């Protein structure tokens, strides 16, 4: 099922020209959630995704791309733990669902890393590079710019004391 999920999403990224992809995953200060540690980690994840997109252009960079992907996964794991600590601290009402998203992304990462360990010769490069970039796109544009934005709104709500901006999910 996970394999299907990964390969279904690839088709979306295959249509993107390199420059539009790079533009899509370029960091902007507008993405900040106003929590310095989290913002630094988000920015680093976007930066690693841009670097990976550059490495995905030539099969000669295959090993560097794998190393970049590993680096991305290590930071992602650390970031999710730190972010969940912050969400506990602010009493984020949708923590359960957010944690589940983190868990799904980490298991997708492990699945892809395992597949990359059997990476074949040059003909397979483009396909595998797409899998890597697709995952990074899912984390940056898919998760950080959508799901993380929701808790940023709740943090602001906390400051503004507006109770109706974020709604709880079905439990802690």
C-alpha 51/C-alpha 22 separation (Å) is 9
Number of residues lying near Fe ion (CB under 5 A):
2
Stretch that binds Fe ion, among 65-73, 88-96, 120-128, 145-153 (CB under 5 A): 145-153
Smallest distance from the beta carbon of 102 to Fe ion, in angstroms? 6
Q: Which of 134, 102, 104 is nearest to 116 (CA)?
A: 134
**Of residues 49, 130, 139, 148, which one binds Fe ion by CB under 5 A?**
148
Which is closer to Fe ion, CB of 3 or CB of 81? 81
Contact mark string toward Fe ion, 62..101, x via CB under 5 A: ---------------------x------------------
Using the rule CB under 5 A, is 108 a contact of Fe ion? no
The upper half-sphere exposure of residue 34, i.e. CA atoms within 13 Å in the direction of its Cβ, equals: 11
102 CB neighbour count, 10 Å cutoff: 19
The upper half-sphere exposure of residue 38, i.e. CA atoms within 13 Å in the direction of its Cβ, equals: 20
Which is closer to Fe ion, CB of 83 or CB of 108? 83
- For tokens 């492990």, what's the residue? 110
Tell me which residues touch Fe ion (CB under 5 A).
83, 148
């Amino acid at each position: 099922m996970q394999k299907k999920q990964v390969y279904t999403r690839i088709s979306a990224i295959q249509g993107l020209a390199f420059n539009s992809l790079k533009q899509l995953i370029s960091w902007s200060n507008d993405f900040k959630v106003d929590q310095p540690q989290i913002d630094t980690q988000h920015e680093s994840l976007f930066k690693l995704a841009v670097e990976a997109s550059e490495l995905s252009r030539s099969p000669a960079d295959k090993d560097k791309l794998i190393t970049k992907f590993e680096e991305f996964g290590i930071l992602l794991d650390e970031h999710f733990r730190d972010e969940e600590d912050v969400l506990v601290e602010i009493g984020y009402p949708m923590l359960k669902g957010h944690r589940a998203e983190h868990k799904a992304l980490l298991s997708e990462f492990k699945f892809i890393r395992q597949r990359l360990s059997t990476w074949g010769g040059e003909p397979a490069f483009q396909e595998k590079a797409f899998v890597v970039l697709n995952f990074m796109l899912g984390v940056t544009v898919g998760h950080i710019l959508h799901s993380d934005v929701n808790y940023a709104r709740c943090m602001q709500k906390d400051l503004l004391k507006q109770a109706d901006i974020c709604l709880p999910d079905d439990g802690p």
